[in-house]
Amino acid sequence: MKKDIHPKNYRLVVFKDMSNEQTFMSRSTINTKDTIVWEDGKEYPLVKLEISSTSHPFYTGKMKLVDSAGRVDKFNNKYKKFFEKKETK
């Protein structure tokens, strides 16, 4: 293995799933401007996630649509005419 290719600045970081407000702590090198006070009373860097294992349908077994950027609405509007034609046949 090559030496000195891995970062040395790992630190504790809190990750927050914005779809269900679940948080977990892990070690990471990610840079972030946000911080949060964790359960131990200390302040840690915060990384906001749109989806994690606590909200992803593969892990939860529930089909839950998470659409934070309106992508599904854009798709439905774009292909609305196609779906209407298919339903009338």
H or E stretch covering 81: helix 80-88
pLDDT in tens, 47-87: 998 887 777 666 666 765 555 566 777 777 788 777 776 66
Beta strands in the chain (DSSP E): 11-17, 23-28, 35-37, 43-49
pLDDT in the model for residue 47: 92
pLDDT in the model for residue 15: 94
pLDDT in tens, 3-35: 888 888 899 999 998 888 889 999 999 999 999
Contact at 8 Å (CB) between 26 and 38? Answer: no
Q: Is the pLDDT of residue 38 over 80?
A: yes
